[in-house]
Amino acid sequence: MSPIAVIDFETTGISPGQGARATEVAIVLLEGGRVVDRFQSLMNAGVHVPHFITQLTGITNAMVAAAPPAERVMADAARFVGDLPMVAHNAAFDRKFWQAELARAEVQAAQPFACTVLLSRRLYPHAPNHKLGSLVDFHRLPRFGQAHRALADAEMAAALLAHMQHDLRQRWRVACPEHTLLMALQRCAKPAVAALLARHAEPATA
């Protein structure tokens, strides 16, 4: 199975269009259901970290001030990812920051993003909700480190993705749940999910 880069950002706010900047990025490479490599760094974008964000993440202004410049971190992150397809939990959020921070670093960003929220809504419609922590508990997956830190959340998103790929193989008989299938699945209208998975299922053996 081809590797997938699972990413998570910690930021100063909700939208780069409103001036929010990244404070930390973590990326884990998932291959064959296992994490095979990791990238993590705080970054200094020269902005103030709101008190609310420090309470949520534990990331302080002093930590960010001591971190390497955001442009250098993002250039390193882009080299780490290469042209691998990407996954994030609520990918619309992380994709916005990935593209905005890479643009500031003058680095191209063309990776396709799949979203574990959209996938979870299709594969597990009976989950109590689709927050990352709730899904980790719902599927009885291990927790990693401090929630709302980038590496811990990226590890949990990767564990969730690996669990989805396992279920696609075991429950829906999908032989090869690669990133292209994940992209098709997350775009698929919910009533058509079963038909899509059936088209990708291995033929039943006699």
Interface ranges with DNA (CB under 7 A): 8-11, 13-15, 17-18, 23, 53, 56-57, 89-90, 92-93, 117-118, 121-122, 129-133, 148, 153, 186, 190
Q: Closest separation between CB of residue 197 and DNA, Å?
A: 15
Residue 174's DSSP bridge partners are 201
Smaller CB distance to DNA: residue 1 or 193?
193
Q: Taken in order 67, 69, 71, 75, is the CA torsion positive or negative?
A: negative
| Residues comprising the chain, all counted | 206
Smaller CB distance to DNA: residue 5 or 118?
118
Asked if 35 contacts 7 with a C-beta cutoff of 8 angstroms, the reply is no
Smaller CB distance to DNA: residue 175 or 184?
184
Q: Closest separation between CB of residue 146 and DNA, Å?
A: 11
Distance between CA 53 and CA 73 in Å, rounded?
20
Q: Closest separation between CB of residue 111 and DNA, Å?
A: 16
Smaller CB distance to DNA: residue 1 or 147?
147
Distance between CA 125 and CA 176 in Å, rounded?
22
CA atoms within 13 A on the CB side of 99: 12
Q: Closest separation between CB of residue 133 and DNA, Å?
A: 7
